[in-house]
Amino acid sequence: MIQVLADGVVAASFIVLGVVGLSMIYNILNFPSFAQGDHIATGAYIALGIVALAGTAGSIAGLSFGWPLIGALFCATLLNGLLALLIDRSIYRQLRLRNASRISLIMASFGVALMLRNLIVLFAGHDPQYYAFAIQPALGIGGARITPNDLLAVIVTAVMVVALHLFLSRTTLGKSMRAVSENPSLARVNGIDVDRVIRWTWLIGAGLAAIAGVLLGLSVQVNPSMGFELLLPMFAAMIVGGVTSVYGAVLGALLIGIAEAVTVQYIAPEYRQAVAFLVVILVLLVRPQGILGEKA
């Protein structure tokens, strides 16, 4: 039971890091991005490329990798953010300037998703890859067994969530982001630079996605559809938590992660992806505004 909970929290941490971007993009740019999953994959592959150049020599405190990977993680976070910014500039921004409908933006993100995934295949192939092959003995913590890499994923996620909270509640930029997501026109009238807010939305959203990708790659493997497979759980987390709230999305991710772990353990591992869908349908029927959402 405790093991299932621990597995759930680990699964949730990747969803959390991905869903923050999804939720911010949804609230600030007003569309669900079907490409968010593939931004996770691009992040993982950028780090993989850097590791291939620098190597993963050494190992820190029982983790399966050394300092080069930490460096790669930072570079991938930044580069993935810049990549998202480039995509926004060349595609989404052009659509916004043309006053395109929300549906056009969704379709465009669908196109971006497939382009990113297939560019990965083009450069790195279909086969799964690994940052390092070291076998890790699991640690026993309070009756649950967890590998150091997975524990790191949970800790990094927790730190990121706290950092995000401080950013959104304490900094001017964070407050502007919340203002824009509440009411873009009012924010603009009050002198908030909406374009700057949008730039930071992509940088943060895709940056966190890159961290999710690297951690997921360390935990399982790196493959081109690793992010796409997280898309449905992320959408589910966002809807379950109430789409208007980043915090709700984090809570939703936790719920979906645990629901997935329960399914894998007690029902059937092959239906893992279906759980997210069932939870969404259930929530939409019972409490359409989500757990932390406000009534429309």
Partner 1 sequence: MDILSYLVFFSVVSGIYAIATLGLNLQWGFTGIMNVGVVGFFGVGAYAAAFLTGPAYADAFGGFGLSPLAGYLGAMIASGLVALVVGLLTIRLRHDFLAIGTFGAAVCIQLLAMNLKPITRGFDGLHSLPRPFAGLAATPVAANACFLAMVVAIIAAVVWALERMVRSPWGRVLRAIREDEEASAALGKNAFAFRLQTFVMGSMLMGLAGALYASFTGFVSPQDLLPILTFQVYVMLIVGGSGNNYGAVLGAVLIWALWTMTETFLGAVLPAGLKQQVSALRVVLVGLILVLMLLYRPQGLLPERANVSREARLQG
Tell me how far, at minimum, the Cβ of 108 lies from partner 1, in Å.
5
Q: Does 75 sit near partner 1 (CB under 8 A)?
A: no
Q: Which is nearer to partner 1, 173 or 274 (CB)?
A: 274
Name which position in 110, 159, 182, 196 contacts partner 1 (CB under 8 A): 110
* Residues in 213-242 that interact with partner 1 by CB under 8 A: 232, 235-236, 239
Q: Which is nearer to partner 1, 1 or 97 (CB)?
A: 97
Q: Does 262 sit near partner 1 (CB under 8 A)?
A: no
Q: Does 122 sit near partner 1 (CB under 8 A)?
A: yes
Q: Does 85 sit near partner 1 (CB under 8 A)?
A: no
Q: Does 194 sit near partner 1 (CB under 8 A)?
A: no
Name which position in 67, 70, 89, 111 contacts partner 1 (CB under 8 A): 111
SS3 readout for 110-147: HHHHHHHHHHHHHHHCCCCECCCCCCCCCEEECCEEEC
Rounded distance between C-alpha atoms, residue 212 and residue 45, angstroms: 12
Number of C-beta neighbours around residue 103 at 10 A: 9
Part in contact with partner 1 (CB under 8 A); list of ranges 159-167, 204-212, 215-223, 272-280 = 272-280
Name which position in 145, 199, 277, 291 contacts partner 1 (CB under 8 A): 277
Tell me how far, at minimum, the Cβ of 92 lies from partner 1, in Å.
10
Q: Which is nearer to partner 1, 30 or 171 (CB)?
A: 30
Name which position in 94, 171, 190, 265 contacts partner 1 (CB under 8 A): 94
Part in contact with partner 1 (CB under 8 A); list of ranges 40-48, 133-141, 197-205, 277-285 = 277-285
Number of C-beta neighbours around residue 1 at 10 A: 9
* Site residues for partner 1 per CB under 8 A: 26, 31-32, 34, 91, 94-95, 98, 100, 102-104, 106-108, 110-112, 114-115, 117-119, 121-122, 125-126, 232, 235-236, 239, 268, 270-271, 273-274, 276-277, 280-281, 284-285, 288
